[in-house]
Each structure stands twice: as structure tokens, then as C-alpha cells.
Amino acid sequence: MVKLRFGPSTRKTRVRLGISQDALGKKLSPQVSQAMISQWENESSHPSPDQKQQIQIILGKMANGSGTANSADLEQDNPTEGPSAIGVWLNKERLEKGLSVPELAAKSGLSPLSIYNIESGKSQNPQKATIKKLEKALGKMLSVEAKEEAKEEANIDGVGEWFNFDPNSQSEWPTVAGIYVLYDISDRPIYVGQGQKISTRLREHQDKFWFRRPLVQNGAYVGISNKLLRERIERVLIKFLKSNAVLNQQNVDR
């Protein structure tokens, strides 16, 4: 795996933890400005070894309660493992409002599973409509930085942005043209499909014996308007998954 450099990795971890550049700078001793943190993250300048260690300790302690630098090695393979910046924000705001997951689900019109998945990290990039519902229910806007980070992580070059959704909640079904993947409770991809309107295709599955939890637990999709491209990507994904695509094997080589 390619390891991220200290600057970019610091930014990813900081955003995931929901801490601003200004707040991080004020935690250092001596304090540094927001502009300096920005320079370190874009690598136009670099922190001293002592400042670098302080950042490791601060972000590591926030992430897992540890005060040791080793537990927060920012030059790691996957600094975004776990909840995304959106998940951290959601958990923080929900707890501050004193809301349980079912209470927030009822208030936002989302399913409890969607909220659980976002907070746990199973859903790294919820749909824009989902975020808007959460912002309205919580009375708090998600930071632009967090939205940009999620978009960057979910972007597939040359294709588009990958979004998560709860396939068992009709209100969350995507209404765009695209490719979708359904996952079981263990996050194994079990079905790959495509359609001019994904919600229509999901409605066709709805009465099938397998279209229910825990066999169909989570979903993800990428919007693709070009029918030929959708069909090509669907064939590639199904052939790649082979016997793992247990429910849609029409294009699997045997």
C-alpha cells in the first residue's frame, strides 16, 4: 500500500475527527496559527519534529483515548479507517442533542440502520439528501471540509461519486440512472445491477424472497447516465465477483 505523507494524512485524520485547523493550532505548545496548520497540511512548509510529535499525540488521543504518539502514527496506510468525518459529526451532534438513534431516525425520516451505518463507518458517503435530512433534524450544518473529504474519498476517477444507502428503506432509494451493489450483513457484495432508474430496479426486487435483512443489509451506487457504460461496468463487476455475486450470476463465467 502507498502511505500518505504526514501533511495530507494529518488533514484526513483531523477532518475525520471533526477538529478545525484553528482548534488544532491552539492545542499545540507554543500555539500556531490556522494559516500555519494549513501550510503544513498542503506541505508548503513543515512542522518541527517536536510539533509533529505533538500533533500525533493530540489526534491520537482524540481518536482512541491514548496519549502516546505510537497509537496515532499519521503516516499510515489508511488514516480514514473507521467512521468518516460525516460519521464523527453525526455521532457528536446526536449525543449533544441527547437523541437516541431511533429518535433521530424518527425526526429525520431516515431508517435507524442508516444512522448506525454512518456512525460506525459502514456508510462512508451517504447521499446528499440523507445529509440534508440529518442537518435539518439536528439543526446543525455539516462542515464544507467534511463534505469535501467524503466526496474525495468516494470519487471514482472517470466514473463518478459512490454513495451509500439503505436498500430496505424506500425513501432512500436512488432515483438516478446508475450501477448499484447490494451487500449482506457481513458486507459481502451479493448483487450487482444497473438501471435507468435505480429505484425502479429495486422495486422489482422488493417481492423476491431474498430482498430482506440480513441477506440484503446495505447498498451503494454510482450515478451513470450512459446506458452502454452502465452495462459494461455491470458485466465487469459481476465477472470479477464470480461466485461471490450469489444472486446475480447472469454474466459470471463458470
pLDDT at 172: 93
pLDDT at 186: 87
Q: How far is CA 217 from CA 71, 167, 247, in A?
A: 32, 7, 14
The whole-number average pLDDT for the span 52-78 is 59
User: Do residues 226 and 169 lie in contact, with contact meaning Cβ atoms separated by under 8 Å?
Assistant: no
Q: Provide the mean pLDDT of the chain.
A: 84
- Res. 68: pLDDT tops 50: no
Q: How far apart are the first and last CA of the chain?
A: 31
Query: What band does 252 get if pLDDT is binned at 50, 70 and 90?
Result: very low
This prediction has a pTM of 0.70
The whole-number average pLDDT for the span 227-232 is 94
**What is the identity of the amino acid at 156?**
I
pLDDT at 74: 52
pLDDT at 10: 87
User: Do residues 252 and 243 lie in contact, with contact meaning Cβ atoms separated by under 8 Å?
Assistant: yes
**Hey, which of 57-61, 167-171, 241-245 has the most confident mean pLDDT?**
167-171
- Res. 41: pLDDT tops 50: yes
Residues in the chain: 254
pLDDT at 254: 32
pLDDT digits (tens, 9 = 90+) for 135-188: 999 999 998 888 888 888 888 888 889 999 999 999 999 999 999 999 998 888
Burial (CB count <10 Å: 0-12, 13-18, 19+), residue 172: buried
pLDDT digits (tens, 9 = 90+) for 28-40: 989 999 999 999 9
Query: What band does 60 get if pLDDT is binned at 50, 70 and 90?
Result: confident
Domains of the chain, start order? 6-72 (1.10.260.40), 82-157 (1.10.260.40), 167-254 (3.40.1440.10)
- Res. 219: pLDDT tops 80: yes
